[in-house]
Each structure stands twice: as C-alpha cells, then as structure tokens.
Amino acid sequence: MAADSPHARLAQITHSLYAYAKELQAGGVEGFPSAPSVTLPPSSMPSSDQDLSGSIADSRVEMVEYQSQQAADAPAPTTAFLASASDAAAPTAPAEEASLAGVQTLAELRTEIGDCQRCRLCERRNTIVFGVGNPDAEIMFIGEGPGYEEDKQGEPFVGRAGQLLTQIITKGMQMQRSDVYIANVVKCRPPENRNPEPDEIAACEPFLAKQLEIIRPRVIIALGKFAAQTLLKDKTPITRLRGKWQSYHGIKLMPTLHPAYLLRNPKDKRLVWEDIKAVLREIGRL
Ligand code: SF4
C-alpha cells in the first residue's frame, strides 16, 4: 500500500483516532454518544480506488482490521475503559487488609509490599512505584498507575503528564512536590500503559488504602477516572464527578481530570484549575 494512497491515509486517520480515544480515556471519558446508523444505497458505495471522501466502506474495513490488530497486540481490549465502575471498584482482599493491620508507617508498608507478586502486573514491571512526598502532607494526589518513565525511575508522575502535574503544584498551587504526597491506584506499570484490570486494582488497593490511613491528608485529589472511581466506589463518569466535593472515609476528596488528558485537551486545564482552587480554599491557601 503506497504511503500516500487513500488506504494509507485512512489507516493514519484511524491510528490518530485510536490515540485520541486513549487520551480521552486517560482523562476519564467513558465513551461516545451513539448516532443513528446510516445505510448507504448500493449506488453510492465507492469502488476500491475512489477518492478519500468516497471511501466510507474502505474506512470501515481499515477500522475493523486495525481493531483486530489492536486486539491481537494488546492484553486488554480497546473498549476496556467502557467497563463499569462496579468492575473497577471490585472489593479489596480482606486477607491483605488483615496482614496490613499492624503497619503504622510508610516504611513499614513498603517493607510489607516487598517484591510484590500479588497480581500479574509484577511480571513486566521494572520497579514498584510506591509513592513519593511528604508523609505529613495536607494534600495527596492519586493517579492511575505508573507509565514508562515512572517504571524506569521508580517515582510517580515524572513523565510528560507528571511534568504538567508538577507545574500545577509549583506554578499554580505555589507549593513544591515535596510538600504533597503523590501515589497511584496500582504500583506497577500495566504493559503498554493499558488500563489496570479490576482484579489488579483489587489486589493493590489495600496498599493505597494503608497509605491514606497513614498519611491522613486533609484533601485527596483524585486524578482521572480510575482514582476517583476506585476510591469512591462510584461509577459516575469523571466528567460528572469532577469539581464536586466527595468524601473518602471522612477525608475530603476532589475528583479532577488526569494530566495525561490535559496534554491533549489543554482547553480543559481551566476546569482542573477551578478544582485546584477549591482545594486551595479548603486548606486556607487561597
Ligand atoms: S500492582 Fe500492586 S498488587 Fe500488583 S504486583 Fe504491583 S504492587 Fe503487587
């Protein structure tokens, strides 16, 4: 297939759409509104080498082929983010919670996690990304899971999305990363940055719950769908949750959009800034 052929251009468009959908997903968008299907009369169906605007049938073929390839390559289906929050909020393992009952410090918790093999995310991780920051923080940011850079460096939010979060903290909040605490729902990188599966979240959630219990921040900022829905056990889309105060075991929780989403949708930074200002007002810094 020539690089500038209609088929190649359609394939590029399809790849771009897929990448865009992943970014929306990272920001918590649950899906797309459905539209009535359109049936083209046979006379309007294009022949195989007609121009791009007439190649609707070809684009469908490319989409199906591309989705099939993704399904073969990716451990999780591309529609995994459409799974209900009740899946994402699978119950945590009681045995794990019991084993953490005597843990009182973050260092003890890290020791307890050890070289964790409690879920399949251990298989391809480089490092367990435990969390970083002030153990007495007033504000705790919680994201979804480590990405490539985080897995390499062992610290949460150090890739491109992390740099944006750092700007929010330093330039927006006039604080340092070391003033807050930053952690994720799962501590090991899902392969190819796929979404964490419900059983993986359930396996790792007791560690996050213990971090929250030990740090006991005044405010939790849940970044994106997985953090918000895991902590709140609420399947409401993040686009509707964001900006409204919630409660996690008596701790005030502000759901907002994930920085990875903002990288592709910078116009929505203003929404996150509104959420951050509400947090700053809550702790008396605005
Ligand atoms: S993601 Fe959590 S539960 Fe799974 S292996 Fe890593 S530390 Fe253990």
Kindly give the distance from the C-alpha atom of residue 127 to the centroid of ligand 1, in angstroms, as a whole number.
Answer: 10
Same domain, 151 and 174: yes
Q: Is residue 144 part of a domain?
A: yes
How would you classify the pairing of strands 181-184 and 246-248?
A: unpaired
Q: CA 220, CA 206: separation in Å to the nearest integer?
A: 16
Residue 215 lies in a domain: yes
Ligand 1 site, CB within 6 A: 113, 116, 118-119, 121-122, 128, 186-188, 200, 203-204
Judgement on whether residues 22 and 144 belong to the same structural domain of the protein: no
Least Cα distance to 187 among 169, 171, 208, 167 occurs for: 208
Whether 146 and 21 share a structural domain: no
Shared domain for 105 and 181, answered yes or no, is yes
Ligand 1 mutation pick, 204, 207, 211, max ligand atoms within 8 A of CB = 204
Span from the CA of 95 to the centroid of ligand 1 (angstroms): 15
CATH number of domain containing 210 = 3.40.470.10
Based on the domain organization, do 157 and 201 belong to the same domain? yes
Same domain, 58 and 184: no
pLDDT, residue 8, reads: 59
Is residue 236 within 8 A of residue 26, CB to CB? The reply is: no
Residue 40 included in any domain: no
Number of domains, the chain: 2
In a domain, 253, yes or no: yes
Together in a domain, 271 and 221: yes
- Residue owning tokens 């953090």: 227
213 in a structural domain: yes
Is 145 within the bounds of a domain?
yes
Which DSSP state fits 159? S
What's the pLDDT score for residue 93? 62
Is 17 in the same domain as 109?
no
Q: What is the pLDDT of residue 66?
A: 35
Question: Is residue 59 located within the same domain as residue 178?
Answer: no
Within a domain: 36:
no
Same domain for 174 and 264? yes
pLDDT (0 to 100) of residue 35: 43
Query: Same structural domain for residues 199 and 111?
Result: yes
Q: Are strands 181-184 and 132-133 parallel, antiparallel or unpaired?
A: antiparallel
Domain identity same for 130 and 186: yes
65-68 CB contacts, 8 Å cutoff, 24+ apart:
66/11, 66/14, 66/15, 66/18
Q: Quote the domain boundaries for residue 19.
A: 1-26+50-73
| DSSP, residue by residue, 199-230 | HHHHHHHHHHHHHHHHH--SEEEEESHHHHHH
Instruction: Give the number of other CB atoms < 10 A from CB of residue 84.
Output: 11
> Could you list the mean pLDDT of each consecutive 10-residue stretch along the chain, which spans 286 residues?
57 59 55 44 37 34 36 33 36 71 97 98 98 98 98 98 98 98 98 96 97 98 97 96 98 98 97 98 96
The pLDDT value recorded for residue 99 is: 86
The CA 187 to ligand 1 mean position distance, Å, reads 6
CB contact at 8 A, 154 and 160: no
Angle, helix 225-232 to helix 198-215, in steps of 10 degrees = 70
Answer whether residue 126 is part of any domain. Answer: yes
